[in-house]
């Protein structure tokens, strides 16, 4: 017998957790030769999520819960869950049933078979998603894969099952700006992609506004690529060359024809444009600097308020 840890980050999911637990435990009951533990991470929910989790833990000793001291974001919640997992394998899933638990047996077999260290799920369509969002999502994957050496698979969900070895590897990546899709790929190991169709949220609503997703995408690019820094330098170089050519042109024209005092509107345009490019490049620098600043502070990725469930009983952390 081995132990499978199922890690579920929950943020305001009181409406979804029960349904998640019911459907997942029905599937897990049929998993051959494996014990299961659930680790629900309450990511500073403002609703009754924690109460629901405590009630679950009271009914089922396999359920453990962690309550973070505030909302740290899904990535931090995942890290907290992985750190507390005791399993020989760990699966990470969303609480909203968008990650169908029915795939668990296949994922587990894939990893237990020995050929793979990780089985991950990607969706092959984006049905039920606003078209604009899908369009931007696809562009994001194109851009980040051009810019970064770490492969970020389009449609990859954060739904995956890993061996203990890979979990430990992920835990060793202790950066503060966590872009999980990138980290899972960066640590390497052999990953098998299992395909599924998009499932809609079971209850509650998505925590991701378009703006939040945009910021997340930019964070992902900055965390896994330094190409924007190179773009800034290349832009600078290109403009140097262009201005050099322009200077030669102006001098030659002056010598041959003379009298070139006209043209200030074009000058203003050029100055404005160059000022814009400069600010843009400084902005890129600023982005990297701010991330570096946060990393250098070395703050903890998450803080625990309390935890409980399982055999440990309730305790304050």
Chain centroid offset of residue 290 CA: 19
Ordered DSSP codes for 191-215: EEEEEE-----SSS--S--HHHHHH
Which residue, 130 or 236, is less far from ligand UDP as judged by CB? 130
* 37 binds ligand UDP per the rule CB under 6 A: no
Which residue, 92 or 232, is less far from ligand UDP as judged by CB? 92
Binding mask 65-104 for ligand UDP (x = CB under 6 A): ------x-xx--x----------------xxx-x------
* 198 binds ligand UDP per the rule CB under 6 A: no
The residue from 165, 174, 206, 243 that contacts ligand UDP (CB under 6 A) is 206
Which residue, 73 or 309, is less far from ligand UDP as judged by CB? 73
* 210 binds ligand UDP per the rule CB under 6 A: no
Backbone angles phi, psi at 277, to 5 degrees: -60, -40
Residues of this chain that interact with Mg ion (CB under 5 A) are: 94, 96, 98
Q: Taking the complex as a whole, how short is the minimal distance between the CB of residue 210 and ligand UDP, in angstroms? A: 11
* 9 binds ligand UDP per the rule CB under 6 A: yes
CA distances from 301 to 58, 73, 286, 317 (A): 28, 10, 22, 15
CA atoms within 13 A on the CB side of 40: 34
Please list, in sequence order, all residues whose beta carbon lies within 8 angstroms of the beta carbon of residue 84, skipping any fewer than 6 positions away: 39, 64, 66, 307
Which residue, 40 or 116, is less far from Mg ion as judged by CB? 40
Exposed / middle / buried, residue 185 (Cβ in 10 Å: 0-12, 13-18, 19+): buried
* 13 binds ligand UDP per the rule CB under 6 A: yes
Backbone angles phi, psi at 299, to 5 degrees: -70, 155
Binding positions for ligand UDP, rule: CB under 6 A: 9-11, 13, 43, 71, 73-74, 77, 94-96, 98, 201, 206-208
């Amino acid at each position: 017998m081995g132990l499978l840890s199922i890690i579920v980050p929950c943020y305001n999911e009181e409406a979804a957790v029960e349904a998640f637990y019911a459907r997942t435990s029905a599937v897990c009951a049929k998993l051959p030769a494996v014990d299961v533990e659930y680790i629900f991470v309450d990511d500073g929910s403002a609703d009754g999520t924690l109460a629901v989790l405590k009630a679950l833990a009271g009914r089922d000793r396999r359920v453990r819960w962690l309550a973070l001291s505030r909302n740290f974001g899904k990535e931090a919640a995942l890290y907290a869950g992985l750190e507390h997992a005791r399993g020989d394998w760990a699966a990470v899933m969303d609480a909203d049933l968008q990650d169908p638990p029915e795939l668990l047996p296949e994922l587990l077999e894939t990893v237990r078979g020995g050929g793979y260290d990780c089985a991950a799920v990607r969706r092959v369509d984006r049905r039920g998603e606003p078209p604009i969002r899908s369009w931007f999502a696809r562009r994001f994957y194109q851009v980040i894969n051009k810019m970064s050496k770490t492969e970020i698979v389009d449609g990859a969900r954060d739904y995956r099952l890993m061996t203990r070895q890979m979990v430990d590897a992920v835990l060793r990546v202790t950066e503060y700006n966590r872009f999980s899709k990138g980290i899972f790929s960066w640590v390497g190991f052999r990953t098998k992609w299992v395909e599924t169709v998009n499932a809609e949220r079971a209850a509650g609503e998505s925590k991701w506004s378009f703006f939040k997703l945009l910021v997340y995408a930019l964070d992902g690019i900055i965390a896994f690529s330094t190409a924007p820094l190179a773009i800034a330098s290349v832009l600078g170089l290109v403009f140097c060359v262009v201005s050099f050519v322009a200077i030669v042109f102006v001098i030659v024209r002056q010598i041959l024809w003379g009298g070139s005092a006209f043209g200030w509107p074009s000058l203003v345009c050029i100055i404005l444009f160059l000022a814009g490019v400069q600010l843009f490049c400084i902005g890129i620098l600023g982005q990297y600097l701010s991330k570096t600043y946060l990393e250098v502070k070395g703050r903890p990725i998450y803080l625990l308020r309390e935890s409980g469930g399982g055999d440990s009983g309730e305790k304050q952390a």
